[in-house]
Amino acid sequence: MSRPEDVLPPDLFYDDNESRKYTTSSRIRNIQSDMTNRALELLDLRSPSLVLDIGCGSGLSGEILSAVPPEHGGPHTWIGMDISPSMLDIALQRDVEGDLFLADIGQGVPFRPGTFDAAISISAIQWLCNAETSDVSPEGRLRRFFEGLYASLRRGGRAVCQFYPKNDAQRNMISGAAIKAGFGAGILEDDPGTKNSKLYLVLTVGGGGLQGDITGVVNGMDDVNILDARRKAMEHGKMQLPRKGDKAWIMRKKEQMERKGKVVKQNSRYTGRKRRPAF
Amino acid sequence: MKLITANFLTCAVKGCKASPASFPLHFRDAELELQELDFQPDFIRNIVPRIDWHALQIMANELGFPKILDKKPEGDELKDEQILKELHRLLLETHINEGKLTCGNCGHEYLIKEGIANFLLPSHLV
Ligand SMILES: C[S@@+](CC[C@H](N)C(=O)[O-])C[C@H]1O[C@@H](n2cnc3c(N)ncnc32)[C@H](O)[C@@H]1O
Ligand SMILES: [Zn+2]
């Protein structure tokens, strides 16, 4: 089965129809929200922050940033960039709180140096590996994106990008481009080796040291490590986790239930969205 | 687009970021709207040190606001609820719904429709 990234450029793939299907599918909503909560844990924001949402789509990831309760350091204010007008249109209809931009992250990140406390990206940056025209290469697009992102984060800031590389070459191309741009980088893998495996590229900007959290596994992330995330261990760690009974907790529980019933049905590495038939 | 966002935006055209004339971008034909949002004093305190106050004065002026504070609030002023509330209103509740942002260096115009600015560039400008 082909990946959507190999079929069409993102703004054409996410047309009105696909964007609507994507946003209303409860399966997709659950997966995206689970991954967003995980990325938030890794960002470990302790006070209301200004966050860039890269490839924000219809706002499934962003709305979770707006909903973080004060006990957990929120709510956060976010700015979203996306290349698909249809996705952004749905975000508008859903009345999300973040500010939205129609922009191609492969063209850079048009913000002043040190603008953001943090950045988050859920299921988007693998699209940079597919260059649409002959005058832009994936390497050039990745370079502009990571250099722009690096500059736009404040020192000590972090970015967490969950992504779906097609293969190891893509995974290395992406993490390599991040390191070249100056980031301290690590890759964290949840449920490694399973169909639900999820990769998180964790990036730090000078001094955003990760020691002390992620239960100390991520020491000296100045190179790319592959880390086995043991969720159980994490749950007893220092991280701010949803508290029993609050909204985030209930959402997480729901997702866990979902997951139990879903494992068998998911038969591809690319579990984040529905596919349209390739023609 | 919230006014806070405009305070951080730069021209995306190749080479423009390096030129002082490219910041801030300038509003043209802007239509404004107030969208109420929960007051978040902690967020305001976090973000104010990063605001470019001179750029904020220029933009507020272009948008036809009465004069804003001459100097960026700091220290004890950031404990003053009245000041924080005014900043909240200006930065987070003031939206630019329609209009353009133009670059003072290269002249590029970024259209804003339904609050969404279009920053897509033709490839020769990247
Ligand atoms: C799977 S969706 C994820 C959306 C959202 N983050 C979520 O979790 O629901 C991937 C998004 O990445 C966007 N995207 C792909 N390539 C992009 C690019 N070059 N610049 C900006 N956005 C891009 C797509 O338009 C799409 O909305
Ligand atoms: Zn310019």
Q: What is the CATH number of the domain that holds A203?
A: 3.40.50.150
pLDDT at A209: 53
Range of the domain at A170: 2-234
Residues A207, A85 share a domain: yes
Task: List, as one string, the DSSP characters of A195-227.
Answer: TT-EEEEEEE-TT---TTSGGGTTTT-SS--EE
What value does the mean pLDDT take over residues A244-251? Answer: 51
**Worst-scoring range by mean pLDDT, A167-176, A237-246, B52-61?**
A237-246
Give CA–CA dist B9/A261, Å, rounded: 45
Tell me the chain A residues in contact with residue B11 when contact means C-beta distances shorter than 8 Å: 110
Residues A245, A221 share a domain: no
Nearest Cα to Cα of residue A51 among B76, B118, B4: B4
Give CA–CA dist A87/A66, Å, rounded: 18
- pLDDT at A264 exceeding the cut of 50: no
CA separation, residue A195 to residues A22, A37, A199, A268, B124 (Å): 20, 20, 12, 7, 41
Question: In B78-115, where do the E strands start and end?
Answer: 94-102, 109-113
Q: Establish if A147 touches chain B: CB-CB under 8 angstroms.
A: no
Please identify among residues 70-89 of chain A the ones whose CB lies closer than 8 Å to any CB of chain B: 70, 75, 77, 79, 81, 83, 88
Residues A206, A99 share a domain: yes
Per residue in A186-245, pLDDT (tens digit) is: 999 999 989 899 999 999 998 655 543 333 334 444 334 444 333 333 333 333 334 444
Share above pLDDT 70 across residues of chain B, in percent, rounded to a whole number: 100
What value does the mean pLDDT take over residues B14-28? Answer: 93
Q: Which residue of chain A comes nearest to B22, CA vs CA?
A: A112
Compare CB distances from A102 to B42, B47, B119 and report the shortest one's residue: B119
Collapsing DSSP states into helix, strand and coil, what is residue A277?
coil
- How many distinct structural domains can be found in chain A? 2
pLDDT at A2: 80
Using the mean position of ligand 1's atoms as its centre, give its distance from the Cα of residue B65 in Å. Answer: 36
**Worst-scoring range by mean pLDDT, A102-111, B11-20, B21-30?**
B11-20
Contact A172, A152 (CB under 8 A): no
pTM reported for the whole predicted model = 0.85
The mean pLDDT value of chain A amounts to 81
Residues A245, A215 share a domain: no
Residues A92, A70 share a domain: yes
pLDDT at A252: 52
CB contact under 8 A, A103 and B119: yes
Using the mean position of ligand 1's atoms as its centre, give its distance from the Cα of residue A60 in Å. Answer: 11
Residues A163, A26 share a domain: yes
Regarding predicted confidence, which is higher, A224 or A33? A33
What value does the mean pLDDT take over residues A75-87? Answer: 98
Residue B43 C-alpha, separation from nearest chain A C-alpha, in angstroms: 5
Residue A222 C-alpha, separation from nearest chain B C-alpha, in angstroms: 27
- pLDDT at A12 exceeding the cut of 70: yes
Using the mean position of ligand 1's atoms as its centre, give its distance from the Cα of residue A151 in Å. Answer: 21
- pLDDT at A96 exceeding the cut of 50: yes
pLDDT at B75: 93
Residue with tokens 């890794």: A42
Residues A111, A190 share a domain: yes
Tell me the chain A residues in contact with residue B40 when contact means C-beta distances shorter than 8 Å: 48, 75, 77
Mutate to test the interface with A, among B8, B19, B112 (most CBs of A within 10 A): B8
Contact A81, A36 (CB under 8 A): no
- pLDDT at A7 exceeding the cut of 50: yes
* Ligand 1 atom with the shortest distance to the CA of A60: 9
**Worst-scoring range by mean pLDDT, A141-150, A199-208, B39-48, B94-103?**
A199-208
Q: Establish if A134 touches chain B: CB-CB under 8 angstroms.
A: no
Per residue in B68-80, pLDDT (tens digit) is: 899 999 999 999 9
Share above pLDDT 90 across residues of chain A, in percent, rounded to a whole number: 67
CB contact under 8 A, B119 and A79: no
The 3-state secondary structure of A130-150, one letter per residue: CCCCCCCCHHHHHHHHHHHHH
Residues A117, A96 share a domain: yes
Tell me the chain A residues in contact with residue B9 when contact means C-beta distances shorter than 8 Å: 110-112
Q: For strand B26-34 and strand A226-229, is the pairing parallel, antiparallel, or unpaired?
A: unpaired
pLDDT at A250: 52
CATH topology of domain B3-117: N-terminal domain of TfIIb (2.20.25)
Residues A272, A217 share a domain: no
Tell me the chain A residues in contact with residue B18 when contact means C-beta distances shorter than 8 Å: none
pLDDT at A260: 41
Residues A105, A19 share a domain: yes
